[in-house]
Structure 1
Amino acid sequence: MKYVVREKMFAVGDDYWVEDEHGRRAFYVDGKVLRIRDTLEIQDAEGNEVAVIHQKLLSLRDAMTIERGGQTLVTVKKKRLAFLREVFRAELASGEELEIRGDLIDKEYDIEYEGGGAPAEGRGRLARISRRWFTLRDSYAVDVEREDADAGMLLAIAVCVDHIVAKEHDSD
């Protein structure tokens, strides 16, 4: 299932609907204002909380956490020793790790289990983030490739990566 994301939606205070590939409203992103740290809440179409994204305040590198029901699900941060390209790591509460690699600035990257592995083993690519399906420069797709994947969490990871990358490049 593909979800259409508008690139400029990630400023705190911005609210936006993410639509599925059929144009139906799938997720609502609510940028919370008047908070000490950047906070975004993602809700499903019925208004149920899917994820709350916070920027980590005390961190050597930019990092963001994704919570659900008050529990931290994922911490997203830049991988330390990535020599050729920017690579991010998503550390799941279960102890597993996802790797986010590709062209993060131009929105052509994958979210996959670290170390890859065959999809039959429960490993491999979970989602592909891409602009290539759109003529509008401010849109990109989050293509969730596996039916058993948590689409809300993968969308939240893409939001975190986009937010951190934009913040790094704005400060340059």
Structure 2
Amino acid sequence: MAKKKQKKVSSNTIGTNKKARHLYEILEIFEAGISLLGSEVKSLRGGHVSFKDGYISFHDGSAFLVGVHIAPYDQTGMYDQHDPERRRQLLLHKSEIEVLQSKVDQKGLTVVPMKMYFLRGKVKLQIGLGRGKNVHSKKQDLKDRDIARDTARQLSAYK
């Protein structure tokens, strides 16, 4: 009897911005491609990305990812290294850029990177249009999460 092949379950997620939903109320989500160098893609395959101070800026009708740290790739030569904090152009349709830029300018919203992942061999970035939360709403979210956890725990105890 032949053995069945086990499917390899792999996550295509490179990294997530865990603070995005904590600091911002996300109103809309978009998917964008990123213009990267070869050494950056190799580094991303190892999961070496940090969203700590990342945001999206607009300049001359283009969108740029700013403040996201992609670590230098170890196997690259000294002269071929990329700058870990460089601005990276986002690949969005012109209409999407105009919509995002107008909402940021008029309503005081901000665009933050939320998640980076591979899709059919290409690096994609999930970005969110969000409004900053105040301290009260952050505390309320924590309370709601604690209450939901406690009720789920109590319901599972009765089963």
TM > 0.5 fold call: no
Looking at CA atoms only, which structure, 1 or 2, has the larger radius of gyration? 2
- Considering fraction of residues, name the structure with more helix: 2
TM-score, normalization by structure 1: 0.25
- Considering fraction of residues, name the structure with more strand: 1
